[in-house]
Structure 1
Amino acid sequence: MWDSSKRASVSRCDDGVGRKQGLMDKTVLITGGAQGMGASHVRAFVDEDARVVFTDLNESAGEKLSEELGGSVRFIRHDVVRETDWLDVVTKTEAAFGPIGVLVNNAGITINQPIEEMSEATYRKLIDVNQVAVFLGMKAVLPSMRKAGGGSIVNISSIAGMVGIPNAIGYNASKFAVRGMTKTAALEFAQYGIRVNSVHPGSIDTPMVNNGNAEEMDALAESIPMKRLGRPGELSQLVLFLASDASSYSTGSEFTADGGVTASI
């Protein structure tokens, strides 16, 4: 049985696999960074001595995390579906730390409903937050990354961008789109020394997945070949790798971390 006591804190990147990735003093922008997997990414980059700006709609959580980490960390309230917000965030990030070298498009939502029950408004909301925001982010940071002389964009998709998931038509559509958009951007941005890759997590032990029901979590863990949920820090290490020069020849690719769920598909 999956032991919930083994879950890693989403507020720490402490999975015992951390190592310096050569990201010191790079300017990093992370969306959806106030909580869950995004907060783990923020902490991971801070541990690398990067200069981090993270954004979210949850102001209280964002300000709390920013105050806790201090130093070269800034929080900005940000609605990722608004282009004007993106331009404002890029301007403020450059003013604080200089041109952006890394963008992690992490913000996202999930709403599970059968197709016949899902309203047009709900479907469009999923597309806006999970897909359109990624387009806006890549477009907004391009001039800044050119000034930086290159960079890395990491788009957080999902295994729902690799396979179909029942009762997730909007989520599936948006995450498959992120996978395709990543490849197009990689082809367009390569001339500027900017790499673009997508990360496809499976079930990660964050509040978005873990509902606190031990029986359901045990059943979910049992369905995974590795018999456990992923830890946020494990995903953060993958994001660090893709952000760093250690992955300098990787672009337009998808990187899956799902405990083996999609291995036989």
Structure 2
Amino acid sequence: MSHEAQASGPGRPSGRAADQIRSVSIEPGFAHHAEGSVLIRMGGTEVLCAASVEPRVPPFLRNQGLGWVTAEYGMLPRATHTRGSREAAKGKQSGRTQEIQRLIGRSLRAVVDRKALGEMTITLDCDVLNADGGTRCASITGAWVALNLALARLVRQRVIAAVPLIGQVAAISCGLVGTREAPVAVADLDYDEDSNAIADANFVLTQGGGIVEIQATAEQVPFDDAQFGDLMRLARLGTETLFAAQREAVAKALEASAA
């Protein structure tokens, strides 16, 4: 399945218009042994998201009747233009990796009824196979589908009564590109745009219009309220396309499991 936003506005080096996100596909069931999994592709960025279920919670949550959803994130050594060292070989995770996996976990917990989940842990492993910008956003968007499929499996196994999701969550990067004097707001930055952006932001939004998190940074010059409003508008348009892709992927997977 592939989704792409409508084009309008000024062009970009990639040929996309300002509000046009990259082609998106979400392939469910990519990791055969995981309770839920997808391979999400957003342009040249590809992330494998796998959900694993464990019948226990961290010590700080024991005997509280609450479940836990967490995430781990990593990039393959040649996911980028030059080889990066494996963090396992260094013996510790980078600050960037820790920040991203915490963001993914927070984003997913925002749409889970943890009481209805019960005392179990679901870990979302998000492994970047190819990186072309927006890896954390693709991870969040794909992880929601993998989580949904894992929960649906628990329902089929009669472990829980119903899927304890209270909404959809997806993420997209938007930024100001072009000249410092006349920057243009664009949606879904690829690597070339992100590395040269005047300002960039990651928006984590829910299908119901809620804001889970916004990470916005001026890379060259400060941006104003109007420019932030432009970025927010593009983020909402872009995530609507992502929400549709998520729903289609879930429906496809559930149909296959029922066959």
Pairwise same-fold verdict (TM > 0.5): no
Q: Which has the larger radius of gyration?
A: 2
Query: Which has more strand, going by share of residues?
Result: 2
Query: Which has more helix, going by share of residues?
Result: 1
